[in-house]
Amino acid sequence: MDIDFPLILVILTFATGLVWLADKLFLRPRRAANASVVASEKDSAVTEPYLVELSRSFFPVLAIVLVLRSFLVEPFQIPSGSMLPTLEVGDFILVNKFAYGLRLPVLGSKVVSIDDPGRGDVMVFRYPEDRKTNYIKRVVGLPGDQIRYRDKTLFINGEKVESRFVARLPPNEYRREQLGGVEHDIFLTKGRLGTGGEGEWQVPEGYYFVMGDNRDNSNDSRYWGTVPDDLVVGKAFAIWMHWESLASLPSFRRVGGIE
């Protein structure tokens, strides 16, 4: 069962805030009037209804978490190997939520524009074919770009994207690619290229073409199309922990920035 945590967080914050506000404005004065005395802080705490006490305690915490998660930084865990070697399965990453502008929680509508995704950015977005699922890929094509992928080689607006050989780790070839101003590592798998992996694409205005760094093992824009701006979540900027499964212990060997 899919759980929409952002929606649940918004509902809980709104509900606890509403109870707290209603008590402050209406219920607490009524209790004091019925008792015919002005209750002390200690007495007030004793006579408070449980729901009011609970809401008063949790509302500030929920509100802070909502603001941080919606507008500043949100943690994510990497579930697949589509971004190898840059990101491994089990990496816990931090995503800058305001890098590309402030967006309303749940709705995702941009209310303040700050910057646009850049070529080479590692970007988190909601999967266009299932908007409850978050994906992470590298931005390859910007609005208006012509993208071509042929024989494991990437071309942008007719120009070949240069990469150099680093090592061979069978069945993968480890290469370092220069994408715009970003130098990063990619994997190419010898003899493997999924159906739809080659072709040419025109990136529409307001959309982005994304690809995984594990080029022959990534479900990306080559297969399902471009990412609209209203599905962008934020820019991944750091790994803060690695924890692949409950059978293993958390590790901090990969802590650091993301190229």
At residue 164, φ and ψ (nearest 5 deg) are -125, 150
> What positions carry a catalytic annotation?
82, 137
Plot region of 226 (φ>0 → left; ψ -120 to 50 → alpha; else → beta): beta
Alpha carbon distance 198, 186 (integer Å)? 17
Nearest to 118 by CA among 179, 172, 34, 74: 179
Alpha carbon distance 177, 94 (integer Å)? 23
In sequence order, which residues have a C-beta less than 8 Å from that of residue 121 and are 6 or more positions away? 138, 139, 182, 235
Rounded (to 5) percent helix, strand, coil in the chain: 25, 35, 40
Residue 197 burial class via C-beta count within 10 angstroms: exposed 0-12, middle 13-18, buried 19 and up: middle
* Identity of residue 216: D
Nearest to 130 by CA among 235, 227, 255, 10: 227
What letter would DSSP give residue 18? H
In sequence order, which residues have a C-beta less than 8 Å from that of residue 82 and are 6 or more positions away? 137, 212, 213, 214, 217, 218, 219, 220
Alpha carbon distance 257, 122 (integer Å)? 11
